[in-house]
């Protein structure tokens, strides 16, 4: 519970657990570039700020990008933006996804859509109706139907080259490892395509 966590974290000898680290949140400002090696490949991960004021700083920087990883929070359907309390987070996320996927800067990029926070949606859907945002939704409190509905919303606005989508839970390390392995294969396939070779994604 929240009370137990506060007591645990406030102790002088507190050491963060893996879950604490995974749940920590730091606001991204500007462009943060992180090169790393995994499985014999070198990746260059570029993290950008999602807030409206940050977007003008980065959209033009990505011409020739191999792939765009777009992280969408499944539990955001009843939340508002930090910078604009009149705008729903999921509606804004869908709008941004449509804008980015249709941008000429990403015309040749693969898109990898992470529908994140499956665990939080499973809890929230029990007491916060998705139909409040999307009146056409008729799945009630079934989390699988809610996730499928939200996924289709993102796919409907996508106008890019090619898209792959995954359900993710950032605190589930096994899930993240499986997804990362799949993403690595997608990026390798895209790199081969760009060099005139071809590879099937299995």
| Amino acid 22: pLDDT | 67
User: Distances from the Cα of 132 to the Cαs of 57, 74, 88, 116, 158, in angstroms?
Assistant: 34, 15, 11, 20, 23
Rounded distance between C-alpha atoms, residue 52 and residue 193, angstroms: 33
| Amino acid 84: pLDDT | 83
Rounded distance between C-alpha atoms, residue 143 and residue 187, angstroms: 30
Q: What b/e string do you get for 130-166 counting C-beta neighbours within 10 Å, with b at 16 or more?
A: beebbeebebeeebeebbebbbebbeeebebeebbbb
Q: Is the pTM of this model over 0.85?
A: no
| Amino acid 59: pLDDT | 67
Per-position pLDDT tens, the chain of length 202: 566 778 888 888 888 887 777 677 766 666 777 887 766 667 777 777 666 666 666 666 777 788 888 889 999 999 998 878 899 999 999 998 998 899 888 888 899 999 999 999 999 999 999 999 999 999 999 999 999 999 999 999 999 989 999 999 877 878 878 888 888 888 777 777 776 655 555 4
| Amino acid 202: pLDDT | 43
- The burial of 124, by beta-carbon neighbours within 10 Å (0-12 exposed, 13-18 middle, 19 or more buried), is given as buried
| Amino acid 16: pLDDT | 86
| Amino acid 27: pLDDT | 67
């Amino acid at each position: 519970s929240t009370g137990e966590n506060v007591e645990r974290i406030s102790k002088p000898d507190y050491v963060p657990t893996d879950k604490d680290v995974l749940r920590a949140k730091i606001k991204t400002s500007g462009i943060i570039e992180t090169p790393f090696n995994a499985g014999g490949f070198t990746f260059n991960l570029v993290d950008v700020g999602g807030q409206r004021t940050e977007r003008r700083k980065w959209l033009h920087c990505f011409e020739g990008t191999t792939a765009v990883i777009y992280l969408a929070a499944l539990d955001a359907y009843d939340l508002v933006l930090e910078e604009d309390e009149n705008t729903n987070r999921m509606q804004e996320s869908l709008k941004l996804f449509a804008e980015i996927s249709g941008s000429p800067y990403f015309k040749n990029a693969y898109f990898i859509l992470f529908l994140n926070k499956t665990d939080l949606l499973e809890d929230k859907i029990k007491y916060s109706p998705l139909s409040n945002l999307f009146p056409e939704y008729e799945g009630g409190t079934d989390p699988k139907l809610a996730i499928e509905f939200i996924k289709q919303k993102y796919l409907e606005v996508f106008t890019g080259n090619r898209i792959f989508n995954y359900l993710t839970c950032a605190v589930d390390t096994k899930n993240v490892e499986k997804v990362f392995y799949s993403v690595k294969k997608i990026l390798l396939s895209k790199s081969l395509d760009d060099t005139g070779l071809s590879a099937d994604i299995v």
